[in-house]
Structure 1
Amino acid sequence: MDQRQDILAQWAADQIEQLYQHSIPAQMVTVSGDASFRRYFRIIYSENGVHKHWIAVDAPPEHENSRQFVDIANVWSNAGVKVPSVLAFDEAQGFMLLEDFGDVLLHPELTADAADGLYKSSIDSLIELQQIARTDNIPAYDRKLLDCEMALFSDWLCEKHLGLMLSCDEKLMLNQVFETLANSALAQPQVMVHRDYHSRNLMVCKANPPLHDKDFIGIIDFQDAVYGPLTYDLVSLLKDCYIQWPREQVLAWLAYFKAKSAQITDINEDQLVRDFDLMGMQRHLKAAGIFARLSIRDGKHGYLNDVPRTCEYIMQTARIYPEFAAFTEWLESVFLPALNKEKMA
C-alpha cells in the first residue's frame, strides 16, 4: 500500500472500533477507482458468525469536494433516496467511511430478461430523487455550465484528440447547435439532477436490515448534483454511454416514466421525446469530450472505447430533427471519417 492508503486504513479501523466496538486490522481490499481522483476500498469484519463490511474512500481534498458529497448524502437519505450512509468523515484528510452497497453494478445485470424490471426500478428511484427540493448547496444547471460542457466536444475530442482544425464556419455551426440544445434544456421543468445516473453508478442491492428491508437500486457518485432539466438523468440512464438499447425500447421506458412522474402532467408525449432527445445530444457531446480529456490529460485511455457508441447517439438524434441538417452533414463528411481513421490507427 502507498502511504496515503496506509493512513486511510488505520483511520477507518479506528472509526469502526469507535462505532461498532470491532477491533480489526488496518487492512483494506481495493474496490475501484473512477474517472475522478477518488479511490474506494472495502473493509471486512468476520468473527464469531458476525459478518460486516464497509467502504473506505480516499478523496484527496485538493481535488475532490467531499463536503458536498456528505451534505448531499445526508439530505437525500433523509428524503428516502437510497444512497450510502456516511458513517464517518474527515474533511481535512479527504477520508470517508460509507455503508457498503456491495459489488453488483447495474450494468452487468442488464440482460435481455432482466433489463425491463431493472430499468423500471431505476426510473422509480429517479422519480423519488426528482421530488427532492433544491437546497442551497446545489448549483443551477445554467447556460454557462451547459455551454462549457458542450465545448468539451470541440476542444478535446475534435481538436486535441482527432486533430481537426475547425474553420470559423464550422465553429459557428457548432455554436448554433449548442445554443439550440441549451435553450431546450433550460426550457424544461427543473428538478434535482444526479448528473451521472447511469449503469455504472447504480447498484443492485440486497436487503440489509435494519437499514433496508427489501432489495433496491442504490445510487452512488452523486457529489456533482445540480438543479436542472427534467430529462437529464433519464438520458444518462436510457441512452447510457456504456450500453445501448433499441429506440423503441428506450421510448417504452420513457413512456413508463411519463406515466409515473408527477412532474410532467402538462408535457405531451411528442414534447417529452424531443426534450429527451435534445438533452441526449447535449450530454453525449459532453461525454465524448470528457472521454477524450480523460485519455489526453489523465492517461485513462480505456474510456476511448466508449467514444464511438456515444457519438453514434449524437448522429442518430441529429438525423431525426431537420434543424440539425447542417450538423448531420458535417458529422457524416468530416467528423466520422476522422473518428474512424483514429480507430484504425
Structure 2
Amino acid sequence: MTQGEVISLFLENEAATDRLGNDLALALKAGDCLALSGDLGAGKSSLARAFLRTIADDDGLDVPSPTFTLVQSYELRIPVSHFDLYRLGDSSELTELGFDEALENGICLVEWPEMAEGELPTSRIALRLEHEGKGRRATITAPENAAARIRRVLAIRCFLTDAGYGDAERRFLTGDASLRAYEYFRLRDSSRKILMDWRPPPEGPPIYDGKPYPKVAHLAQDAYPFVAIADTLRERGFATPKIEKVDYEQGILLIEDLGTEGILDDKGRPIAERYRESVACLAHLHSMQIPQDISVTATHTHHIPDFDRAAMTMEVRLVLDWHIAWKRGSPPTDAEREEYLAIWDHLIDELQSAETNLLLRDFHSPNIIWREHESGIRKIGIIDFQDAMIGPTAYDLASIVQDARVTIEPDLFRQLMDDYLSLRRAQGGFDEAGFMKAWAIMSAQRNCKLAGLWVRLLQRDGKSGYLQHMPRTLSYLRVALEHEALAPLREWCARAGIVPVES
C-alpha cells in the first residue's frame, strides 16, 4: 500500500483530466510507477493517453489499450511501459512481463494495479479517479519526493492560469546542470512561450571559507538577477527574452521564445559566420558600461557581484581537488598545492589593471540562439546570464573562442580573435596588450576549472559523458599558457603532468 502525502483535485471535465495527464508527464522521472485506479469510464485511459502524448511531444501518438497485450512499451524521451493488469492471471506474471526492467529504465504506467497489489513497489504513486457530480475527483498518494514534484507542476499550472494560459499543453524543453528546467507551449499562431522552472535551491554544505559553492561562485539563487540582466541588456538593443510574468517567491517565469536555431551545424560543428556574429555582439557589449546596481522591482535592487579572488581561486582549485589524482593516480603534494595557489594568487593580482565590465559567464554555443532574420547584434539571442558578474571582459571572449563543448579549429580561433580585436580597436581607447594578458589568464582560469570539473562530474556525480571534453580543454589550456605572463603556471602544469611542454 502506498504511504505518503495526499493531493486531491477536482477535474471538472475531460479536458481537465487530460491536463492532469499533461502535468504529471512533466513531474515523473525514470524509476517512477504511476498506478491508476478507478471504475470503468473513470478516465484512466484518457489520463494515460495525455501522459504518453506529452512525453512523446506528439498529439497524434497512437495509444492503443494494452488490455489484451497487458503491456505496451514506448521508447520516448523517458521510456514508458503502459501496463493494463485487468486480465492478469496471477500477480507473479508481472515479472515475466518485464516490469522490474521497465521500472529501472523508465516510467511504469499501471492500470488496474489492484490485480498485482503485492508485486508493485510500495513507493509507487497511486492515483484514484472517481466520479463526482458532473466531473471527477483525482486523489493522488505519493512519497514525499514524488509529491513535491507533483505539487510543483500543479503550482506551475496555477501560474499559467493566472497568466491567461490555463489550457496550455505543456511540453518538456530541457533541463540544465542546475536546478532549472524549461518547458514550452504553443499559441494558436504556432508561436511558443517558454516557462522557466527555477526552484529555490538548498543551501548546500560549506566548501570554501565556510561558505557553500553557490555563494562563493556568486551563482544566482533566485529570479531577480535573470530579470535584471535581461531587461538591462534588452534596453540596450541586445536580444534577451522579454519577461511576461514572474513569481519571484516560487521561482517561475514566463518568457519570450527567442528561437530554436543555434550556432552549430547538424553535426555539432561551429558555423563560422554565426560565431563571428557572436564575437561582434560581445565586442559591442564590451564597448558600453553596464551599471552594477539594477532596480528590478519597487523593493528589490540587484547588485551584480564581482568576479573576485575567492570565486576565481575556488574554481582553479578543482584541478588540485579532482584532476591530478585522476591523471596520475596520486593527489598533489602539499608543496604542489602551495605553489599552485601562490601562482594563481599572483596571476589574480595581475588582473587588477584589466578592463572590467559585465561578464555573461557562459557565453558559448549552448546559450546562444541564431536569429537569421534579425540584423546586427539582434542576430544573437542570449539566453543564459543569471550568473553574470563584473570582471575582466576577456573571460567571455575566452568562453566563445574556446567553446568548451565544441572544437574551435586554429583558423577559426584566429579569425574570431582578429574580429574582436579589430572591433575593439575601432572603438578607441583599447589597451590591446593588457587585454591579451588578461585573456590568457582568464582562459587558463576557465580551463583549469573545467579540467577539474569534468573529473568531478565523473567521479562524484557518475556523469561520464563530460570526459569527452577533456582533450579539448587541455588543448585550450595549452594555448593560454603560451603567454609569457603564464610561464610559472606553464612550468607547474608540465611538472604536474597536466599539460606537457612541447619540444
Q: Given the two structures, how large is their TM-score scaled by the length of structure 1?
A: 0.82
69-78 vs 160-169, which moves further: 160-169
Contact 1:182 1:282 in 2 (8 A): no
Contact 2:355 2:435 in 1 (8 A): no
Distance 1:142 1:111 in 2: 34
How far apart are 1:282 and its partner, in Å? Answer: 0.7
Structure 1 residue 317 corresponds to structure 2 residue 485: no
Show the counterpart of 1:89: 246
Distance 2:489 2:159 in 1: 53
Show the counterpart of 1:24: 167
Contact 1:203 1:218 in 2 (8 A): yes
How far apart are 1:54 and its partner, in Å? Answer: 0.6
Structure 1 residue 330 corresponds to structure 2 residue 330: no
Distance 1:291 1:232 in 2: 19
How far apart are 1:34 and its partner, in Å? Answer: 1.1
| Count of matched residue positions in the alignment of Structure 1 and Structure 2 | 322
Q: Summarize the Cα distance change of 1:39–1:143 in structure 2 as closer, same or farther, 3 Å threshold.
A: same
From 231, 237, 248, the counterpart of 1:74:
231
User: Which structure exhibits the higher relative contact order, with contacts defined as CA atoms closer than 8 Å and separated by 6 or more residues?
Assistant: 1
Larger helix fraction of residues: 1
52-61 vs 199-208, which moves further: 199-208
Report 1:213-292 matches (<5 A): 216-261=379-424, 265-268=429-432, 270-292=433-455
Structure 1 residue 14 corresponds to structure 2 residue 161: yes
Cα offsets for 1:93-124 (capped at 9, x unmatched): 11111101222222347988x73321221122
Q: Summarize the Cα distance change of 1:216–1:110 in structure 2 as closer, same or farther, 3 Å threshold.
A: farther
Query: Which one-letter code corresponds to 1:57 in the other structure?
Result: M
Contact 2:239 2:377 in 1 (8 A): no
Structure 1 residue 60 corresponds to structure 2 residue 216: no
Distance 1:235 1:5 in 2: 38
How far apart are 1:58 and its partner, in Å? Answer: 0.9
SS at match of 1:191: strand
From 316, 336, 357, the counterpart of 1:191:
357
Distance 2:185 2:322 in 1: 38
Distance 1:54 1:241 in 2: 29
Report 1:43-192 matches (<5 A): 43-46=185-188, 50-63=189-202, 64-108=221-265, 115-130=271-286, 131-136=288-293, 137-159=303-325, 164-192=330-358
SS at match of 1:240: coil
Show the counterpart of 1:340: none
Q: Summarize the Cα distance change of 1:173–1:213 in structure 2 as closer, same or farther, 3 Å threshold.
A: closer
How far apart are 1:195 and its partner, in Å? Answer: 0.6
Contact 2:195 2:252 in 1 (8 A): yes
2-11 vs 237-246, which moves further: 2-11
Query: Which one-letter code corresponds to 2:201 in the other structure?
Result: E
How far apart are 1:163 and its partner, in Å? Answer: 5.2
Distance 1:155 1:72 in 2: 33
Show the counterpart of 1:41: 183
Contact 1:235 1:276 in 2 (8 A): yes
Contact 2:373 2:379 in 1 (8 A): yes
Distance 1:198 1:260 in 2: 19
Distance 2:319 2:351 in 1: 18
Distance 1:244 1:303 in 2: 14
Show the counterpart of 2:366: 200
Larger strand fraction of residues: 2
Query: Structure 2: which 5+ residue stretches go unaligned?
Result: 1-24, 28-149, 203-220, 294-302
Contact 1:161 1:292 in 2 (8 A): no
Cα offsets for 1:134-165 (capped at 9, x unmatched): 32211111222211111122123335797532
Query: Structure 1: which 5+ residue stretches go unaligned?
Result: 338-345
Cα offsets for 1:48-81 (capped at 9, x unmatched): xx22211111111135422211122122222222
Contact 1:189 1:229 in 2 (8 A): yes
Q: Summarize the Cα distance change of 1:101–1:164 in structure 2 as closer, same or farther, 3 Å threshold.
A: farther
Distance 1:248 1:205 in 2: 25
How far apart are 1:6 and its partner, in Å? Answer: 2.5
How far apart are 1:191 and its partner, in Å? Answer: 1.0
Distance 2:268 2:201 in 1: 40
Contact 1:150 1:286 in 2 (8 A): yes
Contact 1:58 1:94 in 2 (8 A): yes
Distance 1:15 1:121 in 2: 39
Contact 1:159 1:165 in 2 (8 A): yes
How far apart are 1:255 and its partner, in Å? Answer: 2.0
RMSD: 2.9
How far apart are 1:246 and its partner, in Å? Answer: 3.2
Cα offsets for 1:303-345 (capped at 9, x unmatched): 22222311222234335544444224224xx3469xxxxxxxx
Q: Summarize the Cα distance change of 1:285–1:279 in structure 2 as closer, same or farther, 3 Å threshold.
A: same
